Amino acid sequence: MKWLTSVSIKQIAFAFVVGLLFMVVLIGGFAIYQTRGVTRDLERHRLDAARSELDVAVKRLLGRIERQALNLAGWDETRQQLVLPEYYNYWRNQRVYESGMLTRLDEQVALYTVSGAPLASSPATHGMPAVLPKQEIPRHGYGWLVNEAGTIMLYHLFPIYGDDQRQSLLGHGLIRLDFMPALLHQESLSIVDKVSLGLDLRPGEILPASKLFSHLTFNAQPDPDQLMFQKILSRTLLALFVLLVTTALLGLAAYSRLLVRPLRQLSQDIDAMQQGRFNTNPSRSQSMRIIELENIRRSLYDYQLQLRELHGSLENQNREFHSQARQDALTGCHNRRAYEEDWERFRHDMKTVPQGVAFLLFDCDRFKTINDTYGHAKGDRVLTIISDALVMALRANDRLYRLGGDEFATFLSSTTPAQAKQIAQRCQSLIDAAGFGELGIREPVSLSIGIAFCPPDQIDHIDDLPKQADIAMYTAKQPGRNRIAIYGEDTERASQTLVASRETSALFQALATPGMIEMHYQPIHGLPGRQVDYYEALARIRYNGELIMPGAFLPVVSSRRLETEFDLAVLHQVDTDLSSGQIPSGHGISINLSAQSISHPETVSRLLELSRHNARHPLMLEITETSLITQMAEVRTYLDLLRTINYRIAMDDFGTGYSPLRYLVDLPVDVVKLDISLVNKLAQDDRASQVVADFARMMSDAGYVLVAEGVETEAVLQKVESLGIAHVQGYLLGRPVPLSALSASSQDRQLEALARAV
């Protein structure tokens, strides 16, 4: 039944026309049926009329014959022949005709004597009976019909009297005529079909004239008026049918032209609009003759115009959104999403058309420090300048992607390692020339670039390029490198590259494997007694029997954002060391934690758990990289919590960009560890030394406990002592040692102190 609910207007029109034609045929058929009924009635009436007409004609004919017989019987010349028959033949053959007694030559008359014998002179060639039948003849005569060899002959026998009283019978007369021609000759037969007229009479059979009518067979002629009426009716019906068919077809054509086609056009336009295909020039569409449709068309096209404008606007917005979705909001270059899409397509294209491909990975050196030191606005500006410089340095068709933070990437097609390196150098040159000084950044901003290259014949390895570029980039970041490294060239020549790769692996393995992180402890001495108050726990990774130092794996930790995981691993290992009892009781442990970890609930939970050692080992937390603290209030809350359970909070590396003075003010800090760069100033005899000394005294006066880091000379130590700094740390007094060495060292120092006491 779906068709009932969904039909086209053309189907409706077609159904209407078919229905109309069906109705016409039905009405025409009904009219024909009625006409046939009327025709049958008319034919029946006409047959009755023909019967009446034939009856009248037969009676008229018989009456005429009777009159002729009476005339002949009463004719003087007839009687004369019966008396004087000498000229009987003349009378029979000529006189009866010229006198008008018989009007037709096919009618004959013969005279018979009273005894029924023909007149003597009568020849036997006229077909008249030689002897009259022996029967009584009525006065008005007697008629009969005989089928003579297929010809119906009518005989009328009549008596001839010699007196008016009909007492003296002179003889008999017999009229003979061909019945059918005589009957048909009558002009009165206008209804009877003369051709069909016949008499049912066997050859030789004699039929009395009185029974003639019952033996007649006949049909009625078609009524010309009826035929005309039927003809007119048929023509009218045919004309009506043709007219209606023509009208229907013309109507269908007009309907199709005026309604169906415009509606279909409108439907197609609407479908096209639904499919997003717009008529480029709606105004050129042919106007419709139906006003309502024309209004709909105009409205539709107006709507289409508005929709097209809206669509155009949406497309622009979509393009803008798409562009924005693929664009880094800060730098304006492509973002990571664009990178992933483009890289996927790039890889596919390169595999289709192999060519030399280079992948360049950029990373800003010490960006975190810059950001932390100069604030996010400056840091963002630095990234913008870097992005602009890189875009400028790249080729016209190359795209720059910001993968996150200060990490950028690009991939070059149709290139060689030399060309890629040349582009990288151009990038570095533009970065070096950039005006970071205008931002108030005095530190040099540099870029480390890792390059991975895939020759056309090894294009299948294109998927390895990002990882290789990453390795190359870390190679480039290694101290002493020129900050540009090509994977495969520089990484093979420099074992550091291998190390970097090895350290990365070691780091991930260490994070997953407890015990791989090995804590070394560097003593922090109290002044002026120089006794060990704390040990700073410093992490190392034991990997394949070798010890990997923090300078090798911490960048990996930082770049991979593994600070929390790493800190948790360190806390776990410190907890293990503290639980081992190898750390002399009474010696505090200072643990380095990144700012990100402090705000991590799991870290806090671990610290709470670790705090059980506080009784034997006062615990201190050294917060580094405070520039990454974004949720100052939350960090402060956690630090306050930790202080309530006797953790001491130390700000590490104070004096560098990582530890601005603002954090010192905002955070609940107990201890300030002066960075080696400041401590070393104390050895100089200049204003800087004075500033540091004044700063140290000011901090001490403010209640902060100071720790001088990096004390490596006696002079610096004396200066530190002179400034009243409470603690000192450095190679001069003690290097970091493993836990196993810590207990021995502690015993040595106990013996040494005992000896001094002794």
Partner 1 sequence: MRAYLICLLLTALPAWAQAAIVELEMRPGISASAEYLAGQRNKPAVLLLHGFLQTREFATVATLAHGLHDAGYSVLSPTLSLGVPLRKQSLACEAVHRHSLDDDVAEISRWVGWLKSRGHRSIVLVGHSFGSLQLLAYLGAHPDKAVRALIGASLIEAQVDSLSRPALVTELESQASNNQRTLVTHTLSYCRKYTSPPGDLLTYVRWDQSRTLAALKASPVSVQLIMGDKDDMLGRDWIKALKHVQIPMVIVTGANHFMDGEHEFDLMEHTLNYLERIQKAAPR
Whose Cβ is closer to partner 1: residue 68's or residue 504's? Answer: 68
Tokens of 659: 């530890």
Whose Cβ is closer to partner 1: residue 83's or residue 291's? Answer: 83
Strand partners for 539: 519
> How far, in Å, are 179, 527, 680, 689 from residue 710 at the CA level?
165, 15, 8, 15
Whose Cβ is closer to partner 1: residue 118's or residue 736's? Answer: 118
Q: In the complex, which residues of this chain contact partner 1 (CB under 8 A)?
A: 75-77, 79-80, 82-84, 86-87, 90-91, 95, 98-99, 162-164, 170
CB of 157 to partner 1, least distance (A): 21
DSSP annotation of 283 reads G
What are all long-range contacts of 9-12, with beta carbons under 8 Å and residues at least 24 apart?
9/259, 9/260, 9/263, 9/264, 10/256, 10/260, 10/264
Helical spans, DSSP H, in 127-223: 179-185
Half-sphere exposure of 353 (CA within 13 A, CB side): 5
Whose Cβ is closer to partner 1: residue 170's or residue 454's? Answer: 170
CB of 132 to partner 1, least distance (A): 21
CB of 166 to partner 1, least distance (A): 12
From the number of C-beta atoms within 10 Å of its C-beta (0-12, 13-18, 19+), residue 225 rates as exposed
Whose Cβ is closer to partner 1: residue 28's or residue 159's? Answer: 159
CB of 164 to partner 1, least distance (A): 8
CB of 82 to partner 1, least distance (A): 8
Radius of gyration of the chain (CA): 69
Half-sphere exposure of 41 (CA within 13 A, CB side): 5
Task: Give DSSP secondary structure letters for 86-109.
Answer: GGHHHIIIIIHHHTTSS--TTEEE
Taking Cα atoms as reference points, which of 674, 729, 669, 732 lies closest to residue 703? 669
Whose Cβ is closer to partner 1: residue 91's or residue 436's? Answer: 91
Whose Cβ is closer to partner 1: residue 74's or residue 456's? Answer: 74
Tokens of 27: 């009405």
Task: Give DSSP secondary structure letters for 664-688.
Answer: HHHS--SEEEE-HHHHGGGGS-SHH
CB of 84 to partner 1, least distance (A): 5
CB of 70 to partner 1, least distance (A): 14
3-state SS, residue 594: strand
CB of 74 to partner 1, least distance (A): 8
Task: Tell me the torsion sign for CA atoms 368, 371, 376, 381.
Answer: negative
Taking Cα atoms as reference points, which of 149, 167, 150, 170 lies closest to residue 159? 170
Residues across the chain? 758
CB of 169 to partner 1, least distance (A): 12
Whose Cβ is closer to partner 1: residue 55's or residue 77's? Answer: 77
- Cβ of 427: how many Cβ atoms within 10 Å? 25
Tokens of 556: 């990996």
Whose Cβ is closer to partner 1: residue 71's or residue 446's? Answer: 71
Whose Cβ is closer to partner 1: residue 162's or residue 354's? Answer: 162
CB of 99 to partner 1, least distance (A): 6
CB of 127 to partner 1, least distance (A): 24
620 vs 605: CA distance, rounded Å: 16
Whose Cβ is closer to partner 1: residue 92's or residue 477's? Answer: 92
